[in-house]
Structure 1
Amino acid sequence: MDMDENYVPFEAQTMIRSRVVYLILITMICLTGCWDNREVETRAFVMTMGVDRSKDGNLEVIFRIAVPGNISQRGGQGTPEGIREITKPITVTARSIAEAIAIAGAIVERSLDFRHLRLIVFGEKLAKEGVGPYFDVLARTPQFRRTVYIWVAKEGQARDIFLNNVPLLEKSISRWVEGIVRTVGEQGYSRIPTLHEFMTETEGKNVSATLPIVGINQVVQAEKEGEKVTPMPTDKYQEKTSPLTKEPPAKTTEDAPRSGGNPLEFLGIAIMHSGKMVEEWPGGDARIYDLIRDRYRRGFWTFTDPNEPTKTFTVELNRSRPPRVSIEWKGDRPDVFIEVSLEGNIREIVSYEPYVSTENIHILEEEMEKRISEEIVTVVGKAQRKKVDPFYLARFLRTSIPTMQEYDDLDWESRFSTARVSASANITIRRPGLQIQTPTPNPM
């Protein structure tokens, strides 16, 4: 009798079944996932962190730790106590950030967890000394995500920023941070990079990094009592803000003249070179930086009326095309020409001048082009005097340099400091708004 070709002896079948069973058992053992489980109830989630230089030369590190029991189902919006009850601050003085984390972990009844960290603020004194050494622990520790935002406290300590923070609407610290990042970018008065973006710029060649500066408005701080800000009487407000109105807001690093709201304000950027803060630029200069760096998208711009110097007009300017930069060499000295293109929608004309017409609209366009071109040259000149280039103008040279080694050896910032700079702004007004001319009152 012939044997079937597919016939398997009984002993072989038994051996195969045994091996399959053993394989399944080994796989089940390897797939068990409870040996390193971390329950939420055992974790203390650090939401924000601040780093300052202490008087004795050590570091003061403040941690704001979330209190889950005080967070409502709507992300903290329903709790009347405010952000202080949703997060609790702990400040530790130590020789390093890592040591401060270890000490804080020894006094908190749960294990510190930084996976939900949204923000790190450095004090101005520490920023001027150099923040580079303190990014080592952030880069090496897996829990520090590179999507964390980095800020610099203006004229003060990072700890004061956290203690004086009174959000107008949000109670959740995460929502507040994300809201600030979104709204600051809408007007371009500052720039808020992530840890990854800042480290990339710091480690890059021929470019200087920038960080946002967050300050405490002294007028609003005087109105603050606990978690509430009560606006002061009109006569007192005018007395407090009169010294602040000599220059237009955002044209200076001084506090904005205002009352009410959050004492914190974001107007300006810190220019960093080799990890150190070398200068502070006001919000207006931050806009010019955004234009050249191609990070600007839209914003309201107010200009002096060309026919009535005591009045103003406002246009919402939107990015039209990427900036164009041409660099020509005259020996070792470059000639830099910068061209930006914008489109505008009229938002306000205080005077009764009939600018919105085919014959007159060019008057507003030419005035804006002149002012923005002048501001570009002025702001670029400030960078040249400090021998820094936060605009990353060297990126327009990369295609003309044969090798990366030659690009790295360019010594661009020193050469850029001697460059002749000129600028041009091309602005086209597209829409007048919901009406053509400014309404003129009837004569008496």
Structure 2
Amino acid sequence: MRINNKYFVVALIAIIIIFTLTGCWDMVEIERNAFILGIGLDPSESKSGNDERIMVTYQIALPAAMLGPGGQGEGGGGQEQPSTLNVTIEAKNLMMAEQTLMATLNQLPNYDHLQLVVFGEELAKKGIGKYVDFFFRDPRMRQRTKVAVSRGKASEVFKIQPKTVKSTSQYISDLLDENEKRSLILLMPMDFGIMQRHFIRRLDVCLPGITVKKNTLTLQGAAIFSGDKLVAWLTGSQVMSLKWLHGEPAKGIIDISNDKVKAGNFVFNITDNKVSIKPVLDGNRFILKAKMEVEGDIAEIQNERFNTYDLGFIQQVEDLVKQKIMQSCSEVFSKLVDQYKTDCIEFGRRVQNYYPDFWEKNKDNWKEYFANTDLEMEVDVKLRRVGVIK
């Protein structure tokens, strides 16, 4: 049977039109979207029966203000018109908070540009497990969204308007991306993709800490978790050791104060370093063997007239930096093992890779093995440059 070409073409065009139209049935116009840039979670002071409620703060972009005068997106957030809107909602959980948000705004929540989720300190101490499930499960969530913990309330973080970017969420995300590799006091970022894998493996996590002081945001220190609960804070100087025990090389400075140094106090600037972490099973216990190679320059000394080309001084600098690294790493390791009993340096993951059979048999009792782990360090420090001043 012959098919009329005219009818065939008409039918083909009709089919194409049908598929084109059905592909856009659920499309939401861009101006109808509420682009959520950041989310903060705090415990609520009120309770409904026996249910604990939370305060969810949404930082929402205001597109017109984001673009700035004349539709230009350049420049910082110092304009008079705010570029973001913060909305705080009290609810039983995150899904109910979103439902309330939709009843509050004339726009549909959109998570395509979600940069940051901040857990308040008080909520983190109670446990974040039942709240992270929302971010793991919902397909709308970006797995690259960064996670942090605030000292104090998370809602206070989003009240700060940085001068260099349009939103607090983007500011913190950029800080972690741009400066973490150049500063030893900034913890490596954690996103929901990595965090989900940790929770599945039942590994502890450490998250960057955020502090609000006098209308200023500072990323410094680390929030240490055991399971899903915040158990301790590490200072900025301790983050240096935490990163190395984690096997993460980074650049930054080490400040040395010692009365025996004729040049006075000095600052050692790390220009390159390599870290190797290996678990060794010794009988019924593990040894964390860390090997570090550190190279750096003299960035600053107290006595600018001192002859920094003196070989004795160079050897002294290398020895003092080595001692400080070993002492700091030993102190932090001792806190994690003996005091906090939390494997936030992912040593268990390395044991799983090196000793898979042992891990399968003992993974449920890993915390007991971790509590008996010892640290052995081998550190080599080289001073490469002393500066141009003679």
The answer, yes or no, to whether TM exceeds 0.5 is: yes
Does the 8 Å CA contact 1:369/1:424 hold for their aligned counterparts? no
- Cα RMSD after superposing both structures: 2.5
Q: Does 1:342 align with 2:294?
A: yes
Tell me by how many angstroms 1:123 deviates. Answer: 0.8
Aligned to 1:273: 226
Following the alignment from structure 1 to structure 2, what is the Cα–Cα distance between the partners of residues 319 and 307? 27
Following the alignment from structure 1 to structure 2, what is the Cα–Cα distance between the partners of residues 214 and 79? 20
Aligned to 1:158: 154
Q: Structure 1 stretch 339-348 or stretch 314-323: which is displaced more?
A: 314-323
Aligned to 2:84: 87
Paired letter, 2:90: T
Tell me by how many angstroms 1:266 deviates. Answer: 1.2
Paired letter, 1:333: R
Does the 8 Å CA contact 1:75/1:172 hold for their aligned counterparts? no
Paired letter, 1:40: I
Aligned to 2:49: none
Match of 1:418 among 361, 367, 372: 372
Q: Does 1:370 align with 2:365?
A: no
Following the alignment from structure 2 to structure 1, what is the Cα–Cα distance between the partners of residues 83 and 273? 43
Paired letter, 2:166: K
Paired letter, 1:374: Q
Following the alignment from structure 1 to structure 2, what is the Cα–Cα distance between the partners of residues 54 and 417? 35
Q: Structure 1 stretch 143-152 or stretch 175-184: which is displaced more?
A: 175-184
Aligned to 1:283: 236
Following the alignment from structure 1 to structure 2, what is the Cα–Cα distance between the partners of residues 430 and 420? 32
Following the alignment from structure 1 to structure 2, what is the Cα–Cα distance between the partners of residues 59 and 395? 33
Following the alignment from structure 1 to structure 2, what is the Cα–Cα distance between the partners of residues 389 and 68? 42
Summarize the Cα distance change of 1:15–1:74 in structure 2 as closer, same or farther, 3 Å threshold.
closer
Tell me by how many angstroms 1:407 deviates. Answer: 6.1
Following the alignment from structure 2 to structure 1, what is the Cα–Cα distance between the partners of residues 366 and 193? 23
Q: What pairs with 1:311-330 in structure 2 (closer than 5 Å)? A: 311-329=264-282
Once the two structures are superposed, residues 108-156 of structure 1 have per-residue CA deviations (whole angstroms, 9 ceiling, x without a partner) of 11112121111111111110111111011112222211111111111x1
Q: Does 1:198 align with 2:195?
A: yes
Match of 2:254 among 301, 306, 325: 301
Q: Does 1:38 align with 2:28?
A: yes
Following the alignment from structure 1 to structure 2, what is the Cα–Cα distance between the partners of residues 406 and 44? 46
Tell me by how many angstroms 1:317 deviates. Answer: 1.0
Does the 8 Å CA contact 2:136/2:196 hold for their aligned counterparts? no
Paired letter, 1:75: G
For structure 2, list consecutive stretches of 5 or more residues without a partner in the other structure: 47-51
Following the alignment from structure 1 to structure 2, what is the Cα–Cα distance between the partners of residues 407 and 60? 41
Does the 8 Å CA contact 2:279/2:347 hold for their aligned counterparts? no
Paired letter, 1:211: L
Q: Does 1:28 align with 2:23?
A: no
Following the alignment from structure 1 to structure 2, what is the Cα–Cα distance between the partners of residues 387 and 430? 38
Q: Does 1:427 align with 2:373?
A: no
Q: Does 1:64 align with 2:59?
A: yes
Does the 8 Å CA contact 2:274/2:294 hold for their aligned counterparts? yes
Larger strand proportion, structure 1 or 2?
A: 2
Following the alignment from structure 1 to structure 2, what is the Cα–Cα distance between the partners of residues 78 and 411? 51
Paired letter, 1:337: K
Once the two structures are superposed, residues 401-440 of structure 1 have per-residue CA deviations (whole angstroms, 9 ceiling, x without a partner) of 25386266373332121233232321111122333x4xxx
Once the two structures are superposed, residues 245-264 of structure 1 have per-residue CA deviations (whole angstroms, 9 ceiling, x without a partner) of xxxxxxxxxxxxxxxxx522
Q: Does 1:140 align with 2:137?
A: yes
Once the two structures are superposed, residues 356-390 of structure 1 have per-residue CA deviations (whole angstroms, 9 ceiling, x without a partner) of 33343111001110111111111000001222112
Q: What pairs with 1:199-214 in structure 2 (closer than 5 Å)? A: 199-205=196-202, 207-214=203-210
Q: Does 1:333 align with 2:328?
A: no
Does the 8 Å CA contact 2:38/2:117 hold for their aligned counterparts? yes
Normalising by structure 2, we get a TM-score of 0.88
Does the 8 Å CA contact 2:91/2:97 hold for their aligned counterparts? yes
Once the two structures are superposed, residues 272-314 of structure 1 have per-residue CA deviations (whole angstroms, 9 ceiling, x without a partner) of 1211111111111111111122223200111124624994111
Following the alignment from structure 1 to structure 2, what is the Cα–Cα distance between the partners of residues 94 and 326? 45
Match of 2:104 among 97, 107, 113: 107
Q: Does 1:187 align with 2:186?
A: no
Once the two structures are superposed, residues 37-95 of structure 1 have per-residue CA deviations (whole angstroms, 9 ceiling, x without a partner) of 2111111111111110011231111112111222214436266445x711111111111
Summarize the Cα distance change of 1:137–1:419 in structure 2 as closer, same or farther, 3 Å threshold.
closer
Following the alignment from structure 2 to structure 1, what is the Cα–Cα distance between the partners of residues 315 and 364? 42
Does the 8 Å CA contact 1:328/1:336 hold for their aligned counterparts? no
Summarize the Cα distance change of 1:374–1:145 in structure 2 as closer, same or farther, 3 Å threshold.
same
Q: What pairs with 1:216-255 in structure 2 (closer than 5 Å)? A: 216-217=212-213, 221=214
The structure with more radius of gyration: 1
Paired residue secondary structure (2:171): helix
Normalising by structure 1, we get a TM-score of 0.78
